[in-house]
Structure 1
């Protein structure tokens, strides 16, 4: 069992190297051109529209990942290496049921910014709770200016505005307001 686990760990590292090599759009285009028969840098550049420099850089990364073989003047996909990888790859583990809260957050937040407010009340509540927990400490009183500043950071670049967001937080009783001072109840 330990030997199998060690093999799967090694395969995992190989998978990361393979995924990393193919994660870039230019490298994928170069790889595809080589698969389709472009055998040298000039042919790959002509087929992809990339500069020779970009092609050479991409080929170097693909060769380092051992999925493309460079035989001096000829490039080819290392099919045996790909078959070897397919034989040793760890079987995919069944994914646990996704947390519905996480799904809502992934849908409406990008890079810590609110893309838009959900129309559905339950989803909006999940999002508002997340923003409240991350922006305001319980028991601390915040002047309206501080609340607006915290909420502007969430709304930057999205469709929602901080005033609407603040109103929802108060309406959903996630923030309490009195004389332009806000706090988490």
Structure 2
């Protein structure tokens, strides 16, 4: 049942009330009448329509609401998840970056050294190989990565230097490691 069909089916107040009563445990038309206050003829008409559409069925104990159809309709209505592509061919690398980088910002820093190295190599791509940057320029390049609050630019710069991805001398920094773009 499509989301539109389900919404259309429940747009009628009697059918909606009948579904609510069934969801709360009613198993027969008289129980639906009792719980909703709707007269028997209207309840019978609503249940017939719900059964015809497949939202209501029956078993040995009486009426049964096929509640799983709500979840199915919700899944069908949800937009597909869009994953940011970070440009890596390795699916494990992409999965790691999806976990720690969103929209060009760090959402966390991995504790595992190999995963942390991958994230830092990704950040290091912000720096052109062979270009020397004054500390202020390094700060300007790293601050957007830190906007989500997972780390600060000073710590991130220290990680990059400690991992050998940036080198420093005399107040200047340059990219000295990591993959070649």
TM-score (norm: length of structure 2): 0.51
Change in Cα spacing, 1:139 to 1:31, as seen in structure 2 (3 Å) is: farther
1:157 and 1:183 mapped to 2: Cα distance?
25
The number of equivalent residue pairs is 113
2:6 and 2:106 mapped to 1: Cα distance?
36
Q: Does 1:39 align with 2:31?
A: no
Aligned counterpart in structure 2 of residue 166 of structure 1, from 133, 157, 163: 157
Q: How does 1:132-171 map to 2 (within 5 A)?
A: 132-133=124-125, 135-171=126-162
2:175 and 2:96 mapped to 1: Cα distance?
22
C-alpha root-mean-square deviation of aligned residues, in Å?
3.8
Larger C-alpha radius of gyration, 1 or 2?
A: 2
CA deviation string 1:10-55 (max 9, x = no partner): xxxxxxxxxxxx9xxxxx6x765435x3238xx7xxx9xxxxxxxx
Q: Does 1:110 align with 2:116?
A: no
Q: How does 1:115-126 map to 2 (within 5 A)?
A: 115-126=107-118
State the 1:111 CA deviation. Answer: 1.3
Q: Which runs of 5+ in 1 are unaligned?
A: 1-21, 23-27, 48-77, 80-96
Name the counterpart of 1:100: 92
Change in Cα spacing, 1:38 to 1:131, as seen in structure 2 (3 Å) is: same
1:146 and 1:98 mapped to 2: Cα distance?
31
Say which structure is richer in helix.
1
State the 1:166 CA deviation. Answer: 0.3
Q: How does 1:57-136 map to 2 (within 5 A)?
A: 99-133=91-125, 135-136=126-127
Secondary structure class of the residue paired with 1:34: helix
2:145 and 2:173 mapped to 1: Cα distance?
17
Change in Cα spacing, 1:32 to 1:170, as seen in structure 2 (3 Å) is: farther
Name the counterpart of 2:71: none
CA deviation string 1:114-148 (max 9, x = no partner): 10111111101000001111x10000000011101
Q: Which runs of 5+ in 2 are unaligned?
A: 21-52, 55-88, 177-181
Deviating runs (4+, > 4 A) in structure 1?
none
Secondary structure class of the residue paired with 2:133: strand
